[in-house]
Amino acid sequence: MLRIAVPNKGSLSETASVMLSEAGYAGRRDPKELHLVDARNGVEFFFLRPRDIATYVGSGALDVGITGRDLLLDSGSAAREVHALDFADSTFRFAGPSGRFRALTDLQGVRVATSYPGLVGDFLRSNGVEAELVKLDGAVESAVQLGVADAVADVVSTGATLRKAGLEIFGPVILDSTAVLIGSPEPRAGQDTLLRRLQGVLVARKYVIMDYDLPLALLDRATEVAHGIESPTVSPLKDPEWVAVRVMVSRADTNQIMDELYELGARAILVSPIHAARL
């Protein structure tokens, strides 16, 4: 049985569970449940703190897990990133009081508060900067105001938390992070099925199906507007001068593509969601 680590709390927990459920796996009924056997799918779930997941997977105790790329790198564990899962996107940045710091080198000799000392320590070392790391558990943005640090290094999404604390981003991007599927150093049996299922969920979220009718003579030009993943499906209509076309398009581009196809001469353009996919 494939043993899968899933975040039990925090920013990653809900979306990770929704993705697994869309991928056809059983979900826990009680949020306090720590272990769940899904015999039908041949997998076992362990609900753990996201920060600990890389440790379990890297040691080989569990086969795969869902965590943040930033947490994986911070852990220093031997687990590897298998695939990005495209949620909980964030950047990891340095920030300080407005105008106080400009460049990374300004951090030489100062106190930097973070809950990710592994990640930040590695970054500073590899850039030849020596700073004193102040390890905190969370709410790192308050550290400057409260006088325990001169700057912070933390997760930034909208930037609202930094702004409220009177801090300003400076220096290079430490990391672009997202939720990731991680695996133990040696790939495990059953891992590929989980990966394919999760990829199917990502495709279903990212793409829609577009159907439209079109004069056959315009097919090449319509294919330039929406070429699909491989090639559009083209079916005959009763009128021999017209065809029905089916193509996958990016959800984000849907309306722009509909406008362009309509301008070209396509009619009866219909868009439907994809519930599941295996490409």
Ligand X SMILES: O=P(O)(O)OC[C@H]1O[C@H](OP(=O)(O)OP(=O)(O)O)[C@H](O)[C@@H]1O
Residues that bind ligand ATP (CB under 6 A): 9-12, 50, 68, 70-71, 88, 90, 138, 155, 157, 177
Beta pairing, strands 90-97 & 167-177: antiparallel
**Nearest approach, Cβ of 59 to ligand X (angstroms)?**
25
Query: Between 28 and 49, whose beta carbon lies closer to ligand X?
Result: 49
Applying CB under 6 A, among 24, 109, 138, 185 the residue interacting with ligand X is 138
Is residue 20 within a helix (H) or strand (E), and if so which, with residue range?
Answer: helix 13-22
Residues 1-20 that bind ligand X (CB under 6 A): 11
Least separation, in Å, of the C-beta of 46 and ligand ATP?
15
b/e per residue 70-104 (b: at least 16 CB within 10 A): bbbbbbebebbebeebebbebbbbbbbeeeebeeb
CB of 88 to Mg ion, least distance (A): 11
Q: Which span sits near ligand X by CB under 6 A: 18-26, 154-162, 216-224, 243-251?
A: 154-162
How far, in Å, CA of 71 to CA of 76, rounded?
A: 9
Site map (CB under 5 A) of Mg ion, residues 113-142, x = contact:
-------------------------x----
Q: Does 146 bind ligand X (CB under 6 A)?
A: no
- The stretch among 137-145, 179-187, 188-196, 222-230 that binds ligand X (CB under 6 A) is 137-145
In angstroms, the CA 203 to CA 191 distance is 18
By rule CB under 6 A, what string of x and - marks binding of each residue 159-198 to ligand X? xxx-------------------------------------
Which H helix or E strand runs over 97? strand 90-97
DSSP state of 216: G
Instruction: Indicate whether 156 belongs to the interface with ligand X (CB under 6 A).
Output: yes
Six token digits for residue 108: 């030489």
Kindly state whether residue 60 participates in binding ligand X, applying the rule CB under 6 A: no
Q: Which of 154, 200, 202, 208 binds ligand X (CB under 6 A)?
A: 154
State the alpha helices, DSSP H only, in 60-167: 69-75, 117-126, 142-145, 160-164
Q: Which is nearer to ligand X, 72 or 243 (CB)?
A: 72
CB of 10 to ligand X, least distance (A): 7
CA distance 256 to 55: 45
**Looking at beta carbons only, is 42 or 172 nearer to ligand ATP?**
172
Residue 160: which of ligand X, Mg ion, ligand ATP, none does it interact with, CB under 5 to 8 A by kind?
A: ligand X
* φ, ψ of residue 26 in degrees (nearest 5): -70, 145
Distance CA 40, CA 48 (A): 22
The continuous run of DSSP H or E covering 15 comes out as helix 13-22
Sign of CA dihedral 203, 204, 208, 209: positive
One of 62, 85, 155, 277 touching ligand X (CB under 6 A): 155
Query: Applying CB under 5 A, which residues contact Mg ion?
Result: 138
- Positions that interact with ligand X (CB under 6 A): 11, 138-141, 154-161
